[in-house]
Amino acid sequence: MLEPLAKGDATIRILLIEDDQDLARRLADALGEAGFAVDCAADGETGCLMGETNDFDAVVLDLGLPRLPGIEVLKRWRRAGRDVPVLILTARDAWTDRVEGLNAGADDYLGKPFQSAEVVARLRALTRRSAGRASPLLRRGDIVLDPAASAITQNGELIELTARELRVLTYLMHRAGRIVSQAELVDHVYALDETRESNTIEVYIGRLRKKLGKDVIRTVRGLGYRMT
């Protein structure tokens, strides 16, 4: 199985809700390039449903959307207790939109036009904050992950991982000490439009053990995996 080496913070799964197709494509490309797994919705209703039925790490939400306005999408999620970090996209200088968005529970905003690189940087900051970490480095034992550089070191030595191996490991590191089921890993490792095969998770776990040591990831029989 050949895969490109990880280029970015590949563990993070983003939902992009934007009806401007050119902008959506440009942004999805930039986010993919940065290593995020991106799913797109082109209207509010579809986006709302995707956010309700999937576990995303962050959402980029345009406010001006067909079928259901972005602000309504946000309000519905918050009313339902969904606390996924949301970055809203607003028209330039529309300060009332920003205030309304933040009041409705948005975590950050960007006025159009914006640079894709800024969206990437803000999403990294948002997902970091939501995981309750001030430091961008994730540590577990002798393993250190720098999400911004997609670099894994063990005892100071650089370990080469493929994009999917990195997604699996990063997710387990985020949930260290807790049991993560195979289904949960599949959700976070694959974008919605990718073919999902739960048995490949075992393959990635096997490779990670080979690279990092067999005790780094424990199997909890019948339940999933846990990073010790």
d(CA 161, CA 157): 13
Cα separation values, 126 from 65, 121, 169, 191, 216, Å: 23, 9, 20, 20, 28
Using rule CB under 5 A, residue 72 touches Ca ion? no
Binding flags for Ca ion, 28-67, as an x/- string (CB under 5 A): ----------------------------------x-x---
H helix intervals, 66-176:
70-79, 95-103, 116-130, 163-174
Residue appearing with tokens 């999917």: 164
Nearer Cβ to Ca ion (106/168): 106
Q: Measured from the CB of residue 84, what is the shortest distance to Ca ion in angstroms? A: 20
Q: In the sheet where 143-146 sits, what is the strand order?
A: 138-140, 143-146, 151-154, 157-159
d(CA 203, CA 215): 16
Region binding Ca ion by CB under 5 A among candidate stretches 16-24, 35-43, 177-185, 210-218: 16-24
| Size of residue set near Ca ion by CB under 5 A | 3
Q: Measured from the CB of residue 63, what is the shortest distance to Ca ion in angstroms? A: 7
d(CA 81, CA 208): 35
Using rule CB under 5 A, residue 19 touches Ca ion? yes
Nearer Cβ to Ca ion (10/24): 24
Q: Measured from the CB of residue 68, what is the shortest distance to Ca ion in angstroms? A: 12
Query: What sign has the CA pseudo-torsion 137, 123, 85, 54?
Result: negative
Nearer Cβ to Ca ion (64/105): 64
Nearer Cβ to Ca ion (100/187): 100
Query: In the complex, which residue's CB is closest to Ca ion?
Result: 64
Q: Measured from the CB of residue 96, what is the shortest distance to Ca ion in angstroms? A: 16
Residue appearing with tokens 């309504």: 72
Using rule CB under 5 A, residue 97 touches Ca ion? no
Nearer Cβ to Ca ion (9/62): 62
Backbone Cα Rg of the chain? 18
* Enclosing H/E stretch for 159: strand 157-159
Nearer Cβ to Ca ion (23/176): 23
Nearer Cβ to Ca ion (43/146): 43
The answer to whether 50 and 41 have CB atoms below 8 angstroms apart is yes
Q: Measured from the CB of residue 67, what is the shortest distance to Ca ion in angstroms? A: 12
Ranges within 122-141 binding Ca ion (CB under 5 A): none
Question: Site residues (CB under 5 A) for Ca ion?
Answer: 19, 62, 64
